[in-house]
Amino acid sequence: MSMKKVKLTSTGAEIRKKPLKLRIWQSRGFYVMFLPVLIFVAIMYYWPMLGIRFSFYQYKAAGRGAMTWVGLQHFQTMFFNPVKSGAFWNAFRNTLVLSVIKLLITTFTSVIVSIFLNEMQSLKAKKSLQTIIYLPHFMSWAVVASIFSLFLSPSSTGLVNGVLRSMGVVGEGEYIYFLANTAWWRPIYYLINIWKETGWGTIIFLATLSGINPELYEAGDIDGATRVQKIWYITVPALANTIITVLILNLAKVMNLFESVFVLYNTAVYEVSDVISTYIYRQTFATMNPDYGFSTAVGLFKSLVGCVLVLVCNRLSKKTRGRGIV
């Protein structure tokens, strides 16, 4: 008969479908249980989606909700206006640069650390190291930013400047204001990300490594391969798929950069640090009489790019590993 009439349960057993009305009546308990989820998702996710229409209006905060239709004017301003588009494109470029470089660097360090963790002979040493390197992941960005801004502080109690002064790299009473310096901000940002996320990133690679068939290493032993050769010819190729997976999964989140930048950036370094979300934030909450319409338009652009990225990554993921990213 037709395929539609037969459905499989999660155990794989066939069940013959009862009439739809009966099944709906029998599922009434589940519908009631789903109701709270439905309400929360509708309010927290779907209601805001209706607000996308603001991007075609002028919607001044001070005007008590007075809205004037302006069509695509906000997008024109955002992309082409000689005064305003500069900051937007700068933020867009920074979002891509910071996200992608951060992703590549932390993935690289995670792979290296997990390969060496995998080579550890003592299980106890391995376990305690894992405990330590996972720790920074559970610290908030506010805490991590606080710790490093104290260390990098130009004041007399800043660790890094203190050391530089005592070594004579900078003169007495002089300092490098790392977080307010356009040359230093990005490298510092990447380093802090490495410190915070490398350990956590190893989890997925270690899971892959524990699945490598030990016979491969035994075959290597018989052929007289050295440790380094075994790593290069057995371990690294085994990780290739996982590395691609991690890159794809995270590529979908490239546009989401916000908190990590927000807690570390400041007026002096917008040029190298301002990202789309921080730009939207300032346009709305740090501007006199903001136009909600304009910031919604920038947000819509961000959502659309993010959406395309998710769909592309989903396609890539299905191609490379046979299933989507969710």
Partner 1 sequence: MAKEKIIAPPKKKKVGTFDIVNYIVFILIGLIIILPMWKVLVDSLNRYGVYQFRLWPRDFTLEGYLTIIKTTRLIKPFFISLLTTVLGTFLGLFLSTLGGYVLIQFDMPGRNIFAYFLLFTMIFSGGMIPEYLVMKQLGLVDSWWILVFKHGINVYNLVLMRNFFEGVPASLYEAARIDGCSPMGIFFRIVLPLSKAALASIGLMFAVTVWNDYSTVQIYITNPDNVNFQYKLRTMIMDGDTPTTSYNISQTTLYNAGIIVAILPFMLLYPFLQKYFVTGVNIGAVKE
Residues 219-238 that bind partner 1 (CB under 8 A): 221-222, 227-228
- The reply to whether 140 sits near partner 1 by the rule CB under 8 A is yes
Beta bridge partners of 291: 60
Residue number, 1 or 49, with CB nearest to partner 1: 49
Among the listed ranges 66-74, 89-97, 100-108, 194-202, the one in contact with partner 1 (CB under 8 A) is: 194-202
Among the listed residues 75, 119, 186, 321, the single contact to partner 1 using CB under 8 A:
119
Q: How far apart are CA 61 and CA 288, in angstroms?
A: 9
> 106: part of which helix (H) or strand (E)?
helix 85-118
Site for partner 1 in 161-180 (CB under 8 A): 161-163
Closest CA to 202 of 114, 112, 105, 102: 114
Residue number, 84 or 162, with CB nearest to partner 1: 162
Among the listed residues 49, 62, 83, 123, the single contact to partner 1 using CB under 8 A:
49
Structure tokens at 139: 């610290």
Site for partner 1 in 75-114 (CB under 8 A): 113
- The reply to whether 292 sits near partner 1 by the rule CB under 8 A is yes
Q: Are 294 and 78 in contact (CB under 8 A)?
A: yes
Local structure of residue 98 (DSSP, 8 states): H
Q: How far apart are CA 259 and CA 143, in angstroms?
A: 12
Q: How far apart are CA 107 and CA 248, in angstroms?
A: 11
Among the listed ranges 70-78, 81-89, 92-100, 133-141, the one in contact with partner 1 (CB under 8 A) is: 133-141
Residue number, 190 or 262, with CB nearest to partner 1: 262
Find the shortest distance in angstroms from Cβ 116 to partner 1: 6
Other CB atoms closer than 10 Å to residue 151's CB: what's the count? 15
